[in-house]
Structure 1
Amino acid sequence: MGSRLLNIQRKAAEHGRLRTGYTQGNRPMRSATWVVTSHSEEHVTTAAGLWGGTVESWKPLNSTIEQFRVITKAASIEALITPGDPLNQYNEMWSKGGCARRCDGQTELLTRQPCVCAATFGEDWHQQPKGRVCSATSRLNVMLPDLSGMGMWRAETHSFYAASEWGGMVDMVLAGTDGRGFVPVTLRIEPRQRVANGETKKFPVVVVELRGVTPRQALAGPLPTALALDPTGSRAVAAIEAPRPDYLALAQAALNSDDVRDVWRQASVAGHVDPKGSDDLSKALIALAAERDAEAARESLPAGPDDDGAYDIEVVEDAPAAGWPTVAAPGSGARA
């Protein structure tokens, strides 16, 4: 592996955003389905093919740079949590001049002062009208395995309720994986409602949930990449249902006993022979290996005696006994 700059944090490029709303003119609109936006028309076109919707050119508010977006028909999409800590959360307030406040819930980081919202409105500050207080902003970087490119997609929500759920979910996953390996998840937009002061408010919340694996699997350590990419096991089932190779025919085509042993090792790794060599296939391969050793010994004999009537015979070790598969344990790579 090549070298890396040690003073630069390595990260994948951001391909685009996963949004729960869109703009209609200058009006922000909530969406019950995912909105995919990107500078790449190819990525957005692929997303439309997967999740429905029509690709259109689009410019974010207060931006002159054209992008592409699709308002999909999918309320749930498949994603991968990538190695490292994929979640960033702050209470933020933005203005036309940029980020005016960024708070970790206790300290406003731009001024290093105590949280302004809590000091002004108390612990229920998040119930104040939008624009008066900061928004609980959560950004989750995920990979979309069915879209082109190896970069990241940023799902962002300003929901106070989603903030606690995202943090809890991601922290539990990190506790099990230590930030190593991929974890398959579903990002689902869930409609909810809340009754307060006699009023019913409906709002969407993005839910992050495990996909195709159990909590036991997710918390037992880093998942194998193949399992994370195919948690339903369709590839594993296809492999199980694939026809079994004709190991005996492969061994009969072998030129020497070492090649026969290699065939046995392949069968052992696939679970088609007894590791102790007691099954019929192992016995047949052992006998064939002995035949190949005997053939090699006969071919090494000189055609006749020398001038003194002696044969220059090369000493050949005895053919391996019936127990050689036990010595060459599956996966050991050692030759018996």
Structure 2
Amino acid sequence: MGSRLLNIQRRAAEHGRLRTGYTQGNRPVKSATWVVTSHSEEHVRKAAELWGGTPETWKPLNSTTAQWRVITKASSIEALITPGDPLNQYNELWSAGGCQRRCDGQTELLSRQRCICLAQFGEGWHQQKKGTVCSATSRFNVMLPDLSGMGMWRAETHSFYAASEWGGMVDMVLAGTDGKGFVPVTLRIEPRQVVREGKTKKFPVVVVELRGVTPRQALAGPMSTAMALDPSGTRAVAALEAPRPDYLALAEGALTSDDVRDIWMQAQDAKHVHFKGEDELSKQLMAIAARKDEEAASARKASPVEPDADGVYPAEVVDESSSSTWPAVAQAGSAS
């Protein structure tokens, strides 16, 4: 094994952020689903494929550098806790000029004073108006196994409630694994509410849960990378099965729209499309079938078929209605 610099901490590059809110103009908006942001268009487009949403360019507040983001449709995503301690927590107060306070709960580290918020407001300091006291800021570095690259993604929350829950979860995992190996988890945005002084306040909290493994497995020591990547073993089973056909390529090579419909029926038998044709693959196959019909109609207009001297056409032309097994929307499309 090669040598390493001993005075430099080794860490993976940060690919982007996992957020629970976004900005509309200059107004912050809380989100019930994950918002994925990155400088990499590729990462964001892949996230949109996995979790829905529309990729777009975006500039963070007080920044002149454009990034990419997607407001996904997923409130839960799969992730991996990586070796080492993935959690970083401080009570922080930020302004346009940068970080004004960073406190570990006892000492404000920039001024080396005793916790200013605690001295000012007592134990209930976190209930004070935002901007007047620090926010409990938790930064959780995870790997997203289904996105490209070997870097880290940072989930960040300013929730006082999430701070204690994340810390407890990570401490238990580290106690079992000694910070070695990967641990599969789910990051889930959970809506909650509290009642204070007769008023109900609703807010999202990010919950970190074990995924596909039991506490016994997670606390028994470092698990294998293969198990962390596929705790249920379903991917290993799928790898032994025949590869999924490239239905779109088969459809493009088909001669007629009827052949495309046959390909859709094969996909339906394999449960790769929805029987109502509401999935994306069905819609793409329907579009190809409609195009085949248009091409055939254009060819007939360009070179009309003429009967021979006996009035017989060289081939019998049959105009049948669309098969009832093809989705209704495809029948409507082929009728044109």
Q: Report the TM-score, using the length of structure 1 for normalisation.
A: 0.71
Aligned to 1:323: none
Aligned to 1:32: 32
The question of 1:107 aligning with 2:77 is answered no
Q: Secondary structure at the residue paired with 2:123?
A: coil
Amino acid at match of 1:176: G
In structure 1, distance between residues paired with 2:135 and 2:81? 24
Query: Deviation digits for residues 263-319 of structure 1, max 9, x if unmatched?
Result: xxxxxxxxxxxxxxxxxxxxxxxxxxxxxxxxxxxxxxxxxxxxxxxxxxxxxxxxx
> Quick one: structure 1 residues 235 and 57, their matched pair in 2 at CA, closer, same or farther if it must change by over 3 Å?
closer
Post-superposition offset of 1:184: 0.2
Aligned to 1:216: 216
Identity %: 86
Aligned to 2:60: 60
Query: Deviation digits for residues 232-283 of structure 1, max 9, x if unmatched?
Result: 11145468999xxxxxxxxxxxxxxxxxxxxxxxxxxxxxxxxxxxxxxxxx
In structure 2, distance between residues paired with 1:221 and 1:65? 43
In structure 1, distance between residues paired with 2:240 and 2:47? 32
Aligned to 2:12: 12
Aligned to 1:202: 202
Over aligned residue pairs, what C-alpha RMSD do you find?
A: 1.4
In structure 1, distance between residues paired with 2:240 and 2:148? 29
Post-superposition offset of 1:156: 0.0
The question of 1:144 aligning with 2:144 is answered yes
Aligned to 2:122: 122
In structure 2, distance between residues paired with 1:239 and 1:197? 56
Amino acid at match of 2:123: E
The question of 1:181 aligning with 2:181 is answered yes
Amino acid at match of 1:29: V
Q: Secondary structure at the residue paired with 2:85?
A: coil
> Quick one: structure 1 residues 96 and 241, their matched pair in 2 at CA, closer, same or farther if it must change by over 3 Å?
closer
Aligned to 1:312: none
Q: Secondary structure at the residue paired with 1:122?
A: helix
Q: Secondary structure at the residue paired with 1:124?
A: helix
In structure 1, distance between residues paired with 2:238 and 2:59? 45
Q: Report the TM-score, using the length of structure 2 for normalisation.
A: 0.71
Q: Secondary structure at the residue paired with 2:163?
A: helix
> Quick one: structure 1 residues 240 and 23, their matched pair in 2 at CA, closer, same or farther if it must change by over 3 Å?
closer
In structure 2, distance between residues paired with 1:25 and 1:223? 45
Query: Deviation digits for residues 135-178 of structure 1, max 9, x if unmatched?
Result: 00000000000000000000000000000000000000000000
Amino acid at match of 1:38: S
Amino acid at match of 2:168: G
In structure 2, distance between residues paired with 1:99 and 1:240? 52
Unaligned runs of 5+ in 1: 243-336
Aligned to 1:321: none
Amino acid at match of 1:79: A
In structure 2, distance between residues paired with 1:47 and 1:238? 22
Amino acid at match of 1:88: N
Aligned to 2:192: 192
In structure 2, distance between residues paired with 1:129 and 1:73? 31
